[in-house]
């Protein structure tokens, strides 16, 4: 599996490790995920089977010969939060919150 280093994406690392552990497996990170382009190029040329999770926008934007994309159902979700400056005005915060809820209601 290609995965970003823990310090670059702790939520995804924790999610994937827990998913593996829940199935009695150990997550084996075979290569670091650096950029979408670089990781896809390495996966396409790799003689060893490997995979990486990607967001659907990445999949749509980056096509490589030799890469097979498989949808995951149900979709993997990672808790996300909106971080805002303490000086943000309430009306802007409310607009941001409304936009986030419209995209991914919680």
Q: What is the pLDDT of residues 15-74, one digit of tens each?
A: 888 888 888 888 888 788 888 888 888 888 888 778 887 777 666 666 677 777 777 777
Number of independent structural domains in the chain: 1
User: Which residues neighbour 32 within 8 Å (Cβ) at sequence distance 6 or greater?
Assistant: 2, 3, 4, 5
Identify the bridge partners of residue 2 per DSSP, sorted by sequence position: 31
Q: Is residue 102 part of a domain?
A: no
pTM above 0.85, yes or no: no
What is the rounded distance in angstroms from the CA atom of residue 106 to the CA atom of residue 102?
9
Print the domain residue range for 59.
2-79
Q: Are 72 and 59 in contact (CB under 8 A)?
A: no
Q: Is residue 85 part of a domain?
A: no
Q: Is residue 75 part of a domain?
A: yes
Question: Mind listing the pLDDT tens digit for each residue in 70-105?
Answer: 777 777 776 767 677 777 777 777 777 777 777 765
Q: Is residue 39 part of a domain?
A: yes
Q: Is residue 104 part of a domain?
A: no
Q: Is residue 19 part of a domain?
A: yes
């Amino acid at each position: 599996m290609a995965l970003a280093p823990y310090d670059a994406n702790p939520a995804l690392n924790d999610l994937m490790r827990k998913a593996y552990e829940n199935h009695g497996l150990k997550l084996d990170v075979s290569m670091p995920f650096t950029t979408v382009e670089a990781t896809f190029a390495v996966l396409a040329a790799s003689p060893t089977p490997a995979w990486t999770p990607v967001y659907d926008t990445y999949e749509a934007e980056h096509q490589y010969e030799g890469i097979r994309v498989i949808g995951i159902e149900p979709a993997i979700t990672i808790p996300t939060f909106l971080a805002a400056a303490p000086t943000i005005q309430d009306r802007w915060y409310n607009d941001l919150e409304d936009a986030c809820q419209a995209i991914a209601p919680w």
